[in-house]
Amino acid sequence: MSGLKRTGKNAAMLLFGTLLRMVSTFAFIVLAANFLGVEGFGKYALVVHYYELFISLTATGAGILLTRDIARWPQRRDSLFSSATALVSIFGLLSPLVLVGLAVGFGYSADTTTALWIACLGLIPAAIGVIYEAVFVALERAEFVTIGSAAESLVRVGTGTLVLLSGGGIIELAWVMVVSRCLLLGVYVGLLRSICDHRWDFNLGLTRRFALRWRVFAAENWMATIYTSLDVIVLSAVVGEAAVGLYSAAWRYVRLGAVVAKSFTTAVFPLLARAYLESRSQFCQIMQHAFRGMCLVAMPVIAGVTVLPTRVVGLIYKPEYEAAGPILQVLIWVLLLEFLNPFLSHILFSQGKQRLSLIVAAVGLLTNAVLMFVLVPWLGPVGAAWACVGSGAMATASYLYFTRELGLIAGLLSEMARVALAAFGLGVVLLSVAEQSWPLIFLVATVTYGVLLFVVQAIRWDDLRFIRQHLFQRAYAS
């Protein structure tokens, strides 16, 4: 299999695994929200949030570095794996001190604190599982990550559903979370041993050198992770766990859109990287078309949710979550930023300007922290939503500033304004049919938005030719 085909296969398998995990998690979270109620769901969402946060802080940076190093030095696979495992295990042992300290310091309820203690038991197995995933990606066997994700999702969602149906709460669900990750680790060990002679090969000197290289990866990963996690932490500390329940319910809609955004960026990035080396004009053309395409997808969703937030929440949640509507009305604007910011960061990656992306991450984190501590005490969950929108917009502005030498900012903003005008018209029309059935609303929205896009010239026939030429024809040529 050629290198290009292997890369495509691995990207597709990783995307499938991510989608599978996201969809199954979304379905289970909705079920848990409706079974546990606002406060109970807030406690569970908080425990899951901290669990995933500390797994990422512990292992993600090491996993990225491990993938790169194994790709460079495949003969050192086991020794590099052992170094990474030792590193994340040390942080996995230290993490409970911080995690439980936060629980006590913020005055969480007894059952939330107990569930966090249980979650601590799964930090090291989960972190080592991330290391195995990095090995599979480096070996170009990403299908094993998909197999593991499917197995873990099946166990967690299936067992969690049985727990909820039998009347269990967050304590039992915390045990399910830990056990499913331990089983995932067992699956990964078996899969790796099925394709190679996998063994422990620890070397202190190599581990020290690995840790020194890991620092840069860890710094960027920690800033990005804390940036995306600060809202729930501040909200839980200032307002309480019930507020986390409403906020997390609204966030689920944005999370699904983030998967689409990640898929789009993953698909376009190889084109950007190749075009930057071949032709600057082609690079700029791809950037313009992709930027407009992301706005075309995100803005009608934003318009619809802004006009009909309560009805959108009522699609999947019980009436007690109606208060999540105003939160979603603000938070849905993050959807556009979830498209633009990763894409713009990859624009910098394509140009070899990763350092600038790190600066943007720092700016976003600082802005997010300031806005959170100012707005959350004042506006509660809605304030947390505004803080996310504000810090995300600041990051977008920073990315555009760092790409200014391409001479595209005015054109990009003009294209965004055209799409925004069409979306605004769509929102006005939706107000007139807000009380109608969903099929009718969807039909009216589709026709209205399509017509308005051509009226304001937000979409043109050459866009369709561009998509056919640069995506489909290249795909077939590959």
Encode pLDDT of 164-190 as tens digits.
999 999 999 999 999 999 999 999 999
Whether residues 269 and 154 share a domain: the answer is: no
pTM over 0.75: yes
How far apart CA 129 and CA 181 sit, in angstroms, is: 8
Whether residues 180 and 277 share a domain: the answer is: no
Whether residues 67 and 173 share a domain: the answer is: yes
Q: Which of 238, 257, 281 is the last residue of a domain?
A: 238
How far apart CA 311 and CA 293 sit, in angstroms, is: 27
Whether residues 200 and 277 share a domain: the answer is: no
Whether residues 192 and 322 share a domain: the answer is: no
Closest CA to 5 of 346, 219, 216, 270: 270
Q: Which of 203, 238, 273 is the last residue of a domain?
A: 238
Q: How many independent structural domains does the chain possess?
A: 2
**Which band of pLDDT confidence, cut at 50, 70 and 90, is reported for residue 2?**
very low
Whether residues 177 and 321 share a domain: the answer is: no
Whether residues 208 and 265 share a domain: the answer is: no
Whether residues 422 and 461 share a domain: the answer is: yes
Mean pLDDT across the stretch 10-18?
Answer: 58
Whether residues 49 and 93 share a domain: the answer is: yes
3-state SS, one letter per residue, for the chain: CCHHHHHHHHHHHHHHHHHHHHHHHHHHHHHHHHHHHHHHHHHHHHHHHHHHHHHHHHHHHHHHHHHHHHHHCHHHHHHHHHHHHHHHHHHHHHHHHHHHHHHHHCCCCHHHHHHHHHHHCCHHHHHHHHHHHHHHHHCCCCHHHHHHHHHHHHHHHHHHHHHHHCCCCHHHHHHHHHHHHHHHHHHHHHHHHCCCCCCCCCCHHHHHHHHHHHHHHHHHHHHHHHHHHHHHHHHHHHCCHHHHHHHHHHHHHHHHHHHHHHHHHHHHHHHHHHHHHHCHHHHHHHHHHHHHHHHHHHHHHHHHHHHCHHHHHHCCCCHHHCCHHHHHHHHCCHHHHHHHHHHHHHHHHHCCCHHHHHHHHHHHHHHHHHHHHHHHHHHCHHHHHHHHHHHHHHHHHHHHHHCHHHCCHHHHHHHHHHHHHHHHHHHHHHHHCCCCCHHHHHHHHHHHHHHHHHHCCCCCHHHHHHHHHHHHHHHHHC
- Above 70 in pLDDT, residue 96? yes
Tell me which range, 27-31, 145-149, 278-282, is most confidently predicted by mean pLDDT.
27-31
Calculate the CA 415 to chain-centre distance: 26
> Tell me, what's the pLDDT at 283?
79
Whether residues 348 and 471 share a domain: the answer is: yes
Which tokens hold the place of 133?
């995933």
**Which band of pLDDT confidence, cut at 50, 70 and 90, is reported for residue 4?**
very low
Q: 39: domain range? A: 1-238
**Which band of pLDDT confidence, cut at 50, 70 and 90, is reported for residue 12?**
low
Whether residues 202 and 333 share a domain: the answer is: no
Q: Which of 178, 207, 238 is the last residue of a domain?
A: 238
**Which band of pLDDT confidence, cut at 50, 70 and 90, is reported for residue 19?**
low
Whether residues 266 and 230 share a domain: the answer is: no
**Which band of pLDDT confidence, cut at 50, 70 and 90, is reported for residue 477?**
very low
